Amino acid sequence: MTQSRNKESKTGRIVKALSGYYYVRPEGAAPGEADVQCRARGIFKKRGESPLVGDVVDFEETENGEGAVNALAPRSSELIRPPVANVDLAVLVFSVTEPALNLQLLDKFLAHIEHAGIDAVLCLSKQDLAEDGGETEEARRAMSEVQRIYEPIGYEVLVTSSRRGAGTAALKERLQGHLAVFAGQSGVGKSSLLNALVPGLTLETNEISNRLGRGKHTTRHVELIDIGGGFVADTPGFSQLDFAELGIEELGSCFREMRERASECKFRGCTHIHEPECAVLKAVEDGEIAPSRHANYALFMAEMKEKKRRY
């Protein structure tokens, strides 16, 4: 056995992947302790596997001060874009004012997140704009609309203001013990929110945003931000959503309230668009399913069919 093989095997989590290196944070690492820069063993290539940011791994430190990733623990989830493993919570950040709240985009995000099997929290940001500007009424209406539509179907809604620090303690508490992704419209204050959660992060967040490939940059990587008791991955890939990896027949199951009623429909494989004795259409008619949710579902269905016809 080589000297490196005699080294003690440790457990850690990949917090960054860059240029063929994996940066592993050892389990129980002290604050400020350096991550171990590792290469992956050749066995991964042979198996056609690739370690991802978020993976829990067995690794060992080698004699050159670096390390080697030997094995991956089973994943609880895997996102294709951005490539990150073991995410168990998605924080969807939407503004109550500028940009105006877009329920269609919110439903598109939720469909993708449900498909990935990840829990979601809706975070309404820029509350300070709503309170300080002349759009108070519009913002209040937007907030109450989100609470009215999404809380009854089981989504938690948090209202935050990065500038005033309102709601950030509740959000930080919610993130404890999780590996979360922040996603949402650009310009809604995701970076400001992360800065409010982790004081002193400003510079780092801007650097991450640039390296992650926003704007003109084409190389992108995912990096986990340690918020103390949990991790957050800022996710540029979530801003270009399409339904490529989601089949038409799966769309209904990505809307919680439709999934619950699908078994009551007369026809198996009901599309919930035009069929007679459809439990979902009846629930819309009875006011049990928000019309905006069903309208967006129908729109996504049409979008997917159109794309299928084109290819």
User: Could you give all domains of the chain from N- to C-terminal order, each with its CATH number?
Assistant: 4-73 (2.40.50.140), 84-239 (3.40.50.300), 248-310 (1.10.40.50)
Give the best-scoring range by mean pLDDT among 10-14, 190-194, 233-237, 247-251: 10-14
Query: Of the candidates 95, 46, 111, which has an alpha carbon nearest to the alpha carbon of residue 253?
Result: 111
Please name the residue that has the structure tokens 């103390």: 228
Work out the burial of residue 10: count CB atoms within 10 Å of its CB; fewer than 13 is exposed, 13-18 middle, 19 or more buried.
middle
What pLDDT sits at residue 207? 46
CA distance 297 to 308: 17
Amino acid at 244: A
- Is 191 marked as a binding-site residue? yes
Is residue 189 annotated as involved in ligand binding?
yes
**Token pair for residue 172?**
């930080």
By percentage, how much of the chain surpasses pLDDT 90? 44
- 43-82 per-residue burial string, b: 16 or more CB within 10 A, e: under 16: eeeeeeeebbbbbbbebbbbeeeebbbbebeeeeeebebb
Q: For tokens 């159109």, name the residue.
A: 306
Residue 162 annotated as binding site: no
- Say whether 188 counts as a known binding-site residue: yes
Q: What local confidence, expressed as pLDDT, does residue 141 receive?
A: 84
Q: Residue 95 pLDDT more than 50?
A: yes
Nearest to 110 by CA among 161, 43, 156, 179: 156
- Statement: residue 2 has pLDDT above 80: no
Q: Indicate the pLDDT class of residue 153, thresholds 50, 70 and 90.
A: very high
Asked if residue 32 has pLDDT above 70, the reply is: yes
pTM: 0.81
Is 127 annotated among the ligand-binding residues?
yes
Amino acid at 142: A
Question: Does the annotation list 185 as a binding residue?
Answer: yes
pLDDT band of residue 107 (cuts 50, 70, 90) is very high
On whether 123 is known to bind a ligand per the annotation, the reply is no
- Give yes or no for residue 134 having a pLDDT over 50: no
272 belongs to an annotated ligand binding site: yes
């989504």: which residue's tokens?
Answer: 155
186 is in an annotated binding site: yes
Q: Is 239 annotated as a binding residue?
A: no
Q: In Å, what is the CA distance from 151 to each residue of 146, 147, 155, 158, 193?
A: 8, 5, 5, 10, 22
Annotated ligand binding at 265? The verdict is: yes
CB 232 within 8 A of CB 175: yes
Order of all β-strands in the sheet with 119-125: 156-159, 119-125, 89-95, 179-184, 231-234, 224-226
Is 176 annotated for ligand binding? Answer: no
Lowest mean pLDDT among 5-9, 34-38, 234-238: 234-238
Cα-based torsion angle of the residue sequence 102, 273, 155, 186 in order, rounded to the nearest 10 degrees: -20
Go through 183-200 and write b for each residue having 16 or more CB atoms within 10 A of its CB, e for each that does not.
Answer: bbbeebbbbbbbbbbbee
Q: Which of 6, 61, 70, 55 is nearest to 34 (CA)?
A: 61
